[in-house]
Amino acid sequence: MARESYAGKINRKLSKKLRVVEVAAGREPADLVLKNATYVNVYCNELSHGDIAVANGLIAGIGGTYHGAVETDVSGKLVLPGFVDAHIHLESSLVSPTEFVKAVLPHGTTTVITDPHEITNVMGTDGIEYILQATEGLPVDVRVMLPSCVPATPLDESGASLDYRAIDSFYDYGRVEGLAEMMDFVGVVAGDQQVLEKIVAAQAHHKKIDGHAPDLSGKALNAYIAAGVYSDHECSNVEDALAKLGRGQYIMIREGTAARNLDALLPLLTPQYYTYCMFCTDDKHPSDLLEKGHIDYIVKKAIRAGVDPIIAVKCASHHAARYFLLNNRGAIAPGFLADFVVIDDFDAFNILSVYKKGELMYDGTTLAPVEPPEIEPMLVKHAHETFHVAHLTAEDFAETRPRGVLGMVPGEIVTTDAGYATGIDVANDVLKIAVIERHKNTRHIGIGYIKGYGLRSGAVATSISHDSHNIIVVGTNEEDIAAAANRVVALNGGIVVWDGGEAKGELQLEIAGIMSEEPLTVVNDKLEAAKEAAFALGVSRGVDPFMTLSFMALPVIPTLRLTTRGVFDVTKQNYV
């Protein structure tokens, strides 16, 4: 196909622009008119009334009377701008981007800002390219922030190690918005040159830099923000949030699966502070997407907690669009994308229909077909060949010298230092835990013990192990530990509950070991069945068998973590 000339491109866009102007002026009929609309006006902070006319996917005119090829009466309903998730890792849904879009579109989400940090830790820059191709042309706009920390820390063994040069060319992609959460706030504050290079490079491209600095304060916080970090989504209390907001950072109020901060940050959703707040989910697991929803869940929860509905809607749409300079979305106004959410009222907040660029994508019961984009065969092959691990035996996990014990805290992903153990003691809930490097066949295996998991028989293994996604496994004996880990490798990634020589429950995650190719409902059913299998083997009901386990290898969360090199004390910054 011949490449379009610059003059041809201008003429094509001019033709579309002329049509929008003609419709806005009332000289031509619109493609779509939402008649008798009551809509949230994010500029006046009020409900406005009148027709909404759409042409070429854009809002052409609002107010007054318009006519069009399709006219839909929305009397007695409310029209809102499409919702925007300001920060999410698509991989956390455990399904392909296409399946994720099918899940969130009926909930009114029309734009998401994703950080492909998880898949990039596995596949390197191919992971970024994979996500860009897997999200191209989907009916939810997927904008990308480039991962800033691959690996997350120098303690991790990832599938790649990326400096600013490795990711720099991606800033030229039209859907790349900036540099994702700068987790290495220690490096920023210390003036680490390689860390600051990434920030300087993003600024050279006039891009945003997102933050990740829980409880950072005082001069250290000043240094972090002065370096050029513009937002934070890790605030779990108002004091932390106000310290950052007062220094000019935007606050992403997070309500996801692993972390839920809305209740604690409700005081921000007031006229004094809300202007610099937006909503995000960060991580959203299958059951949450199916049972609760997405950004609409946060809006409903905020309104029911007493937040002004217009403030809630603006934080769910307009503020994220403004922050990321997506200047044609997040509002119902002439020239903006015709991304609409139609609800019955603020109290019930039932979504009746969702429009994307003027196309009806969800009518309250049925979702329009969503076709997956084409992905280069080379990337597909790479995504399905990310395990390089030799066959494991019980001897690989034999250990008699004392090892640190990770003490689990009910309902939390933090741990305590529970001392040392020299062996498995099922009666006292002391189990063996191991992290197996799986990217480069180094045969590095970190071994420790964990208390509070509750398993009485068998083993549980998963290749979802933040952030490097090595294999993490916990078990009551070395034979089952090896068998469960080997099964994960055989699946090319997944979650396995093993006992009595067989898998009692499993979920295959064949895309980079972190996502499934199956539909969301199927993935959720298998995941929930695997959870029940883990509970049947004794895992405490107050523990998420897999999500909790997946964070035990992340050496940025206190107190003890397990890496491929052994048990690490995050507070003291040394191995134990």
Domain total of the chain: 3
Q: Roughly how many angstroms between the first and final C-alpha of the chain, as a whole number? A: 61
In a domain, 109, yes or no: yes
Within this chain, do residues 311 and 340 fall inside the same structural domain, yes or no? no
Domain residues for 34? Answer: 1-76+332-363
Residues 109 and 184 in one domain: yes
What is the distance between the alpha carbons of residues 223 and 214, in angstroms, rounded to a whole number? Answer: 14
Average pLDDT value for residue range 315-327: 97
Mean pLDDT of 70-93: 98
User: Is residue 550 in a domain?
Assistant: yes
For residue 134, the model assigns a pLDDT of 98
Spatial CB neighbours of 330, under 8 Å, sequence gap ≥ 6: 42, 81, 82, 84, 317, 318, 319, 320, 321, 322, 336
Spatial distance between the Cα atoms of 280 and 212, rounded to a whole number of angstroms:
13
pLDDT tens-digit readout, 184-208: 998 999 999 999 999 999 999 999 9
In this structure, are 92 and 232 located in the same domain?
yes
Burial 420-432 (b: 16+ CB within 10 A, else e): ebeebeeeebbbb
What is the reported pLDDT for 400?
Answer: 82
Q: Please state whether the peptide bond connecting residue 334 to the residue before it is cis, i.e. omega within 30 degrees of 0.
A: no
- Quick check: 452 pLDDT over 70? yes
Closest CA to 144 of 152, 132, 134: 132
State the chain's mean pLDDT as an integer: 96
Same-domain pairing of 248 and 144 = yes
- 224 with 163, same domain: the answer is yes
User: Are 198 and 343 within one domain?
Assistant: no
In the predicted model, is pLDDT for residue 171 greater than 70?
Answer: yes
**Contact yes or no for 287/264 (Cβ under 8 A):** no
279, 310, 327: which is the final residue of a domain?
327
pLDDT of 571? 87
Query: What's the whole-number mean pLDDT along residues 46-52?
Result: 98
pLDDT of 1 > 70? The answer is no
Q: List the CATH number of the domain containing 188.
A: 3.20.20.140
End-of-domain residue from the set 327, 342, 375: 327
pLDDT at residue 2, as a whole number: 64
Q: What is the pLDDT of residues 369-378, one digit of tens each?
A: 999 999 999 9
- Based on the fold, state whether residues 125 and 17 are members of the same structural domain: no
Q: How many helices and strands in the chain, by DSSP H and E?
A: 18, 27
pLDDT score recorded for residue 113: 98
Residues 422 and 559 in one domain: yes
Residues in the chain, total: 576
The answer to whether residue 48 scores a pLDDT higher than 80 is: yes
The pLDDT value recorded for residue 399 is 84
Q: 105 and 63 in one domain?
A: no
Q: How far apart are CA 178 and CA 205, in angstroms?
A: 8
- Say if CB 405 and CB 450 are below 8 A apart: yes
**Cis upstream peptide for 559 (omega within 30°):** yes
Distance (Å) of CA 435 to CA 270, 481, 531: 45, 11, 20
- Whether 430 and 556 map to the same domain: the answer is yes
Q: Please tell me the predicted confidence (pLDDT) of residue 4.
A: 81
569 pLDDT band, cuts 50/70/90, is: very high
Examine residue 372 and state whether it is found in any structural domain, yes or no: no
| Residue-wise pLDDT tens digits, 279-301 | 999 999 999 999 999 999 999 99
Shared domain for 466 and 568, answered yes or no, is yes
Q: Is residue 376 part of a domain?
A: no
Contact assessment for residue 188 and residue 223, using Cβ atoms and an 8 Å cutoff: yes
Q: Would you place residue 47 in the very low, low, confident or very high pLDDT band (cuts 50, 70, 90)? A: very high
Q: Considering the entire predicted model, what is its pTM?
A: 0.95
The answer on pLDDT for 560 being more than 80 is yes
In sequence order, what DSSP letters do the residues of 546-569 get, joined into one string? Answer: THHHHTTT-TTSSSEEEETTEEEE
pLDDT digits (tens, 9 = 90+) for 148-163: 999 988 888 999 999 9
Give yes or no for residue 111 having a pLDDT over 60: yes
- Give every CB contact of residue 308 below 8 A, 6+ residues apart in sequence: 269
pLDDT of residue 529: 98
Domain membership of residue 379 (yes or no) is: no
Residues 403 and 439 in one domain: yes
Q: Is 216 inside a domain boundary? A: yes
